[in-house]
């Protein structure tokens, strides 16, 4: 089987059955009705779109199957997360939301309800870097944040373990790993790339893009995070000022270093009392 995961609408299930899939739908009942038990083996997760009602039907269906809830308008819709919290009893549930004005309230509530979070980072506006920095601090230090916030989590673990990182992959936007299938069944590049006119071979998109940035002598050329970022923050606007995101990455890298030192220094830690 190909390692590529196809993010499909439920209506395209028949055409893509047998491949590795993410299935999206705004109708939980339809997911339950149409996904067969044999489909679950190839399913990375289901994505709920449009803040659907009727999610009770998912409670005892495919227990343990990850669910991703798309929160398109986080500033306005974040209180509705309460209505999905019972899904956590039987599923890992992640909230995916764009980094836009007001998004931090949604992240705060999602974390408080024990949802994992994926931030659709894109090229965050300078005015949002402060919010991102506060969330990063919460993620790193607050007891009340107990679930991953991506891309912070993937980057921290990568930095901590000194593993090669691919931010495009962490963000589920690497075309070598993921393809987006639209309602008509057309296979497109994932995430922000779906509407792109830039058309390299999908498998080599990240390598081609980062090579191109290096060759053009952008600030990526001497960026200490380029090996991890691979030009993620330069898409689509190559003139995007990375100063803010570099500060975030610096914080993460420092935290990873501290964590690594702590782990090395800590003998097996016994629980303190009481």
Partner 1 sequence: MINGNHFSLILLSTNQCNAACDYCFEDKTRDRLSLDRLRIIAGKVLDHMEEHRIGALTIHWQGGEAMLLPPRWYRQAFAWIRDAAAARGKRVEHGLQTNMLAYSPEWDVLIAEMFGNSLSTSLDYPNLHRRAPGRAPGHYDALWARKVRMARAAGIDVKVISVLNQGTLEVGAERFYAYFVDELGVTDFQINTPFPGGAVNAVKQNLSLDVSELARFHRELADIWLERGPYDDVRIGPFDQLMNYFMDRDACLPCIWGRNCAEELIAIDARGNVAQCDCWVTSYPDYHFGNIFECDSLSELLRNSPARRQFFERPIKLMQGDCIQCDYLALCHGGCPVRTYSVHQTLVEKDPYCHLYKSLFRHMERRATQLVAPSLQRSSRVGS
Does 271 help bind partner 1 (rule: CB under 8 A)?
A: yes
Min dist. Cβ of residue 147 to partner 1 (A): 8
Binding string, 216-235, against partner 1, x = CB under 8 A?
--------------------
Site stretch for partner 1 (CB under 8 A), options 6-14, 177-185, 217-225, 261-269: 261-269
CA distances from 44 to 20, 21, 167 (A): 7, 6, 19
Sheet with 93-98, side-by-side order of all strands: 149-150, 116-120, 93-98, 67-70, 43-48, 20-25, 5-9, 178-181, 187-188
Min dist. Cβ of residue 11 to partner 1 (A): 28
Q: Of 70, 71, 138, 77, which Cα lies nearest the Cα of 108?
A: 138
Among 36, 60, 134, 237, binds partner 1 (CB under 8 A): 60
Subset of 25-44 contacting partner 1 (CB under 8 A): none
Min dist. Cβ of residue 96 to partner 1 (A): 18
| Closer residue to partner 1 in complex, CB, 130/185 | 130
Q: Distance (Å, rounded) from C-alpha 266 to C-alpha 268?
A: 6
Q: Distance (Å, rounded) from C-alpha 87 to C-alpha 52?
A: 13
Binding string, 110-149, against partner 1, x = CB under 8 A?
-xxxx------------------------xxxxxxxxxx-
Query: Phi and psi (nearest 5°) for 71?
Result: -110, 90
Q: Applying CB under 8 A, which residues contact partner 1?
A: 56, 59-60, 78-80, 82-83, 85-86, 89-90, 105, 108-109, 111-114, 139-148, 153, 156-157, 160, 255, 258-259, 262-263, 265-266, 269, 271-274
């Amino acid at each position: 089987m190909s390692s590529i995961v196809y993010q499909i609408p439920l209506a395209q299930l028949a055409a893509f059955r047998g491949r590795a899939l993410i299935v999206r739908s705004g109708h939980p009942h339809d997911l339950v009705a149409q996904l067969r038990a044999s489909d679950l083996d190839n399913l990375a997760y289901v994505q709920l779109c449009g803040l659907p009602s009727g999610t009770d039907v998912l409670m005892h269906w495919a227990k343990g199957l990850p669910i991703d809830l798309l929160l398109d308008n986080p500033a306005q819709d974040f209180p509705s997360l309460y209505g999905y919290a019972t899904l956590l009893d039987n599923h890992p549930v992640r909230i995916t939301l764009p980094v836009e004005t007001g998004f931090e309230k949604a992240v705060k509530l999602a974390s408080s309800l024990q949802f994992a979070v994926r931030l659709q980072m894109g090229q965050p506006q300078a005015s949002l870097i402060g919010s991102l920095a506060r969330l990063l601090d919460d993620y790193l230090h607050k007891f009340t944040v107990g679930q991953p916030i991506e891309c912070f989590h993937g980057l921290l673990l990568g930095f901590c373990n000194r593993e090669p990182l691919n931010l495009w992959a962490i963000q589920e936007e690497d075309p070598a790993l993921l393809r987006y299938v639209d309602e008509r069944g057309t296979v497109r590049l994932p995430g922000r790339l779906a509407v792109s006119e830039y058309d390299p071979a999908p498998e080599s998109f990240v390598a081609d893009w980062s090579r191109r940035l290096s060759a053009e002598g952008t600030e990526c050329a001497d960026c200490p995070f380029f090996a991890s970022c691979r030009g993620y923050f330069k898409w689509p606007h190559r003139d995007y000022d990375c100063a803010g995101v570099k500060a975030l990455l610096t914080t993460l890298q420092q935290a990873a270093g501290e964590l690594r030192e702590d782990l090395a220094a800590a003998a097996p830690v016994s629980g303190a009392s009481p």
